[in-house]
Amino acid sequence: MNNQLLIKRIGLFFLLYFSFVLLAQTSKGKEKLAQYYCWLGNTFVSTYYNGGNISYRPITKKEQAKFKDFDVLVFMTSEQQIESAKKQARLARKKTIDITPVHYPANSWVKMGIFFAFFFSLVICTPINWRQKLLSVFIGFILLSALVSFQFWIAVGSNINQYQEIFSAGFQNESIIFLIKKLNIIIQFMGFGLVTALIIWMVLCFKKVEVARTI
């Protein structure tokens, strides 16, 4: 590949990436990212092994001061926790039950948006035709969404085991718990998502680029 062409493509990459960053910083961009992030969580990881229940919702405007931009809230309960609360309410002859779900914030930009922005910029600046670009963007979008869902699953698995006493749910096997915790350290790391996006780009686009043809 011509060096000048490579420099032009790199310039285009940075232009595209920073445009995506700016787009995400708008209030509409933040809202859409948080919505999609919650949708992924609620669609694919709303229940967890052995009775865990998980729900995701965007931060409201009132709560915004307490959280960072792009944050969403993850709520964790379990069927066992609800049953135990019902039992206690019956014993105390109460008509309502008290459940305190564990909740924590997750950042939709750090855990998802940045990977998409990086991947889309890489694909669009790659010297391949538009049909191939569109196909790569589509496949990459699905694969990265699967990665984000898997990240949810691992994070929830790791967190639910931390609160075994409250939830009485999650995995019981020590080896599986150890594996999930280790995997959680790797997979929650932002660099891992970026490297995965890079690998997906390589697999989808690298073969079609002139640099690769000369190998």
CB of 113 to other proteins, least distance (A): 9
Work out whether 198 is an interface residue with other proteins (CB under 8 A). yes
- Write the interaction track for other proteins spanning residues 12-41; mark x where CB under 8 A is met and - where it is not: -xx--x---x--------------------
Is the CB of residue 83 less than 8 Å from the CB of residue 53?
A: no
Which residues within the stretch 113-132 sit at the binding site for other proteins (CB under 8 A)? 114, 117-118
Q: What angle do CA 96, 97, 98 make, to 5 degrees?
A: 125
Residue written as token pair 């640099």: 211
The set of residues, in sequence order, having a beta carbon less than 8 Å from that of 203 and lying 6+ positions away, is none
Residue written as token pair 């790797």: 186
d(CA 177, CA 157): 8
Q: Which is nearer to other proteins, 21 or 85 (CB)?
A: 21
- Write the interaction track for other proteins spanning residues 43-72; mark x where CB under 8 A is met and - where it is not: -------------------------x----
Which residues within the stretch 74-113 sit at the binding site for other proteins (CB under 8 A)? 109-110
CA atoms within 13 A on the CB side of 211: 11
Work out whether 134 is an interface residue with other proteins (CB under 8 A). no
Q: Residue 209 phi/psi, 5° resolution?
A: -90, 150
Contacting residues toward other proteins, per CB under 8 A? 1, 3, 6, 10, 13-14, 17, 21, 68, 109-110, 114, 117-118, 182, 185-186, 189-192, 194-195, 198-199, 202-203, 206-207, 211-212, 214-215
